[in-house]
Amino acid sequence: MTIKILKIIFLLILLTKPLYANTQYFQEGLNLYKVKKFNEAKFKFEQDIVFNPKSEMSYLYLSKIFKNLKKKDLQEQNLNTVILLNPRNEEAIYNLAKLKLESSDYKKSKELNERLINLCDKFCKKSQKLKSEIENLSKK
């Protein structure tokens, strides 16, 4: 009986350690991101993705890092991944709409913003402002 209990405890310890490590990578990345250590944060978010390929937030923060590093293609790639994982992620949709607007893709930006308006919860005001910005720029 005691050997069974010891086996169960040992098994639980082995199983929980990788789960702790997975969340630890994201948290370390977030801490590094907050102090603008983007290369180190990027590595931690990538480590998190290795253990959790559906880590929506790691992809979102990678897109923010690539925005700061002015790597628009990688920023867009990560935003698309976030939206693929969670089509209702307002921040990713908003950021992708802004990115498309910056690259003069008014049609795609407008389409994304309309999608955001339909989902609107946290980004309502930003979405309305973006709508005006798209309309003004597309008239020029």
Q: Considering its fold, how many domains does the chain have in total?
A: 2
Give the pLDDT of residue 12.
57
Q: Is the pTM higher than 0.85?
A: no
Give the pLDDT of residue 5.
64
How far is C-alpha 136 from the chain's CA centre? 29
Q: How far apart are CA 99 and CA 56, in angstroms?
A: 19
Which residue type is seen at 101? L
One domain for residues 52 and 3: yes
One domain for residues 56 and 29: yes
Give the pLDDT of residue 15.
57
Instruction: Decide: 116 and 108 in contact? Cβ < 8 Å.
Output: no
CA gyration radius for the chain?
20
Give the pLDDT of residue 60.
98
Which residue type is seen at 42? K
Domain with 8 in it: what CATH number?
A: 1.25.40.10
One domain for residues 68 and 98: no
10 Å CB burial of residue 73 (0-12, 13-18, 19+) is exposed
One domain for residues 53 and 119: no
User: In the block, which residue shows the tokens 């890092």?
Assistant: 65
Give the pLDDT of residue 140.
58
pLDDT lower than 50: segments of the chain: 17-21
Instruction: Look at the alpha carbons of 81, 85, 86, 91 in this order and tell me if their dihedral is positive or negative.
Output: negative
Give the pLDDT of residue 1.
56
- Note the pLDDT tens digit of each residue in 112-129: 888 888 887 777 777 777
Domain span at residue 110 reads 89-140
Give the pLDDT of residue 81.
97
In angstroms, the Cα distances linking 90 to 11, 18, 59 are 40, 30, 14
One domain for residues 93 and 59: no
One domain for residues 62 and 104: no
Give the pLDDT of residue 20.
46
Give the pLDDT of residue 13.
61
One domain for residues 63 and 127: no
One domain for residues 98 and 68: no
